[in-house]
Amino acid sequence: MDAQNLHYFEKAPIAKAVAHFAIPMMLGTSMSVIYSILNAYFLGTLGNTAMLTALALTLPLFAAIMALGNLIGIGSGTFISRLLGEKRYDDVKHVSSFAFYSSLALGLIVIAVGLPLLDSIVHGLGATPDSFGFTKDYVTVMLIGSPIVVLFFTLENIVRAEGAAITSMTGMILSVIVNIILDALVIFVFHGGVIGVASATVVSNLVASVFYAFHMGYKSQFLTVSVKWFKANREILSNVFKIGVPVFVMSIFLGAMSLILNHFLVDYGDQAVAAYGISSRLLQFPEFILMGLCEGVVPLIAFSFTANKLRMKQTIGFTIKAIVALAVAFGLIVYLISDHLIGLFTNDPQLIEMGSYILHVTFLSLFITGMTTLFTGIFQATAQGTAAFIMSVIQGITLIPVLYIANQMNGFHGVVWSLVIADAVAFLVGAAMLYVLRNKLQPDLESLAQ
């Protein structure tokens, strides 16, 4: 961490500090949305539906591998930011080295467990006879490349935790650019198909991981990839996993929720599934913008939690205002041109009407989703492991019974509104826990303000 990063942590005006940490993350997450669309586009040019099906079916596997990276990365990253606030710089080296090598170890475990169960995994993902071979090819490559994928998501979080937000963003964008270039090459030049696309993803993550490792080894004052700093004592394991495990559980729950929701929508026909698919893609962009904002400020909150709690409170207040402004802006756009947005994907009038309706309903919870993400980030940053775990499971636990009840009472409309209801419950639970945390910290805040 250089003097400039330290300035943003400690002294820069709140708006400027939040912008420094959040904007690179927002840009990086936005690029990942664009990449996911282009990835499907390149494969779609081959005109083979089974290949596109394989790409869609393997999303849960990629999400699970990514979740392992976030388990180590977010758990270690928030701990690193707190340690920096306490000026425990040697311990930062121990944690960063632990994160690097434990990520590689987790990836090797995925290979050891996954390859012998390859066919079972492919069947479990729902592969049809037509898509089985393509899905198996993609899964094989992703399993073999899992140490690299886990490492990429870990290091992105570690570098951002140090305050090097622009370096973190640069690595994310580098990964996206390399992936797009390789996708074009393997599809149009080498005719690599599914194996080529999967390999491009792994190689792009490798390039970004090397970039991050170079920064940690040669440019960062406190982060390191040197094995001599590796330590896995009780303090490190406790602080990493009490935050990392809830993040991992949340990722798994989100994947399960998507599968369950699709199960209910299938009963209302292909158009219902297609309409939700289109609207969810459109919703993904503003959601990722808000996610980038909320995740971007986590290192600043974590550092301030141990260094200056008044600054932490001011950061949270400013971030809430930014969430409101962004949610209102995106909401106005959607309500004014929702039909045109859905029309970008289809010219079916009924599908446009249904998709527009889903878009209107789900956008009602955009502000709630942003706030829920912020609550989770606050709990992670302040080492509130129990609260973070509750946030990771509450939405999934709520959605399942709400879906059943709403589906029985109001059919398709109930299924759509169940998402908003589950989001609202998670918001209320998070707000209540934050209020308890606020009361716990208030004496310190008052003393600092005097």
- 46, 191 in Cβ contact below 8 A? no
Q: Are residues 187 and 298 in the same domain?
A: no
Q: What is the pLDDT, as a whole number, of residue 103?
A: 95
Q: How far is CA 268 from CA 160, 273, 310, in A?
A: 44, 8, 51
Q: For residue 27, is it within any domain?
A: yes
Q: Which domain holds residue 392?
A: 243-450
Mean pLDDT taken over the chain: 83
Q: Are residues 137 and 274 in the same domain?
A: no
- Which of 232, 267, 295 is the last residue before a domain boundary? 232
pLDDT at 203 over 90: yes
Q: Are residues 207 and 323 in the same domain?
A: no
Helices (H), 185-269: 193-214, 234-266
**From CA 194, how far away is CA 204, in angstroms rounded?**
15
Q: For residue 237, is it within any domain?
A: no
Mean pLDDT of 365-373: 88
**From CA 370, how far away is CA 257, in angstroms rounded?**
18
**From CA 174, how far away is CA 135, in angstroms rounded?**
27
- Which of 232, 256, 273 is the last residue before a domain boundary? 232
Count of structural domains, the chain? 2
- 259, 400 in Cβ contact below 8 A? no
Q: Which carries the bigger pLDDT value, residue 55 or residue 368?
A: 368
Q: Are residues 247 and 224 in the same domain?
A: no
Mean pLDDT of 79-86: 86
Q: Are residues 209 and 329 in the same domain?
A: no
Q: For the segment 287-341, what is each residue's pLDDT rounded down to a tens digit?
A: 888 888 888 888 888 888 887 888 888 899 999 999 999 999 988 888 888 777 7
Q: Are residues 86 and 176 in the same domain?
A: yes
Beta strands per DSSP E along 58-149: none
- Using the structure block, give the residue that is written with the tokens 């094995």: 227
pLDDT at 71 over 80: yes
pLDDT at 345 over 80: no
Q: For residue 310, is it within any domain?
A: yes
pLDDT at 445 over 50: no
Q: What is the pLDDT, as a whole number, of residue 209?
A: 95
Q: What is the pLDDT, as a whole number, of residue 446?
A: 44
* Amino acid, res. 133: G
pLDDT at 350 over 60: yes
**From CA 384, how far away is CA 110, in angstroms rounded?**
29
Q: Are residues 226 and 247 in the same domain?
A: no
Q: Are residues 64 and 98 in the same domain?
A: yes
Q: How far is CA 220 from CA 31, 94, 265, 437, in A?
A: 25, 14, 49, 33
Q: What is the pLDDT, as a whole number, of residue 5?
A: 65
Q: For residue 356, is it within any domain?
A: yes
Q: For residue 238, is it within any domain?
A: no
Q: Are residues 224 and 251 in the same domain?
A: no
- 103, 151 in Cβ contact below 8 A? yes
Q: For residue 307, is it within any domain?
A: yes
Q: For residue 367, is it within any domain?
A: yes
Q: For residue 9, is it within any domain?
A: yes
Residue 447, CB-side half-sphere exposure with 13 Å CA sphere: 6
* Amino acid, res. 250: M
Q: For the segment 387-435, what is each residue's pLDDT rounded down to a tens digit?
A: 888 887 887 788 888 888 988 888 888 888 988 898 899 899 999 998 8
What is the separation, in whole angstroms, between the first and last Cα of the chain? 30
- Which of 200, 232, 264 is the last residue before a domain boundary? 232
Q: Are residues 1 and 77 in the same domain?
A: yes
Q: For the segment 21-37, what is each residue's pLDDT rounded down to a tens digit?
A: 888 878 777 776 776 66
Q: Are residues 391 and 415 in the same domain?
A: yes
For the record, the structure tokens of 249 come out as: 């559980």
Among 79-83, 346-350, 361-365, the minimum mean pLDDT is found in 346-350
Q: For the segment 124-148, what is each residue's pLDDT rounded down to a tens digit?
A: 877 778 778 888 998 999 999 999 9
Q: Are residues 190 and 282 in the same domain?
A: no
Q: What is the pLDDT, as a whole number, of residue 63?
A: 77
**From CA 189, how far away is CA 199, in angstroms rounded?**
15
Q: Give pTM, 2 decimals.
A: 0.76
Q: What is the pLDDT, as a whole number, of residue 427?
A: 92
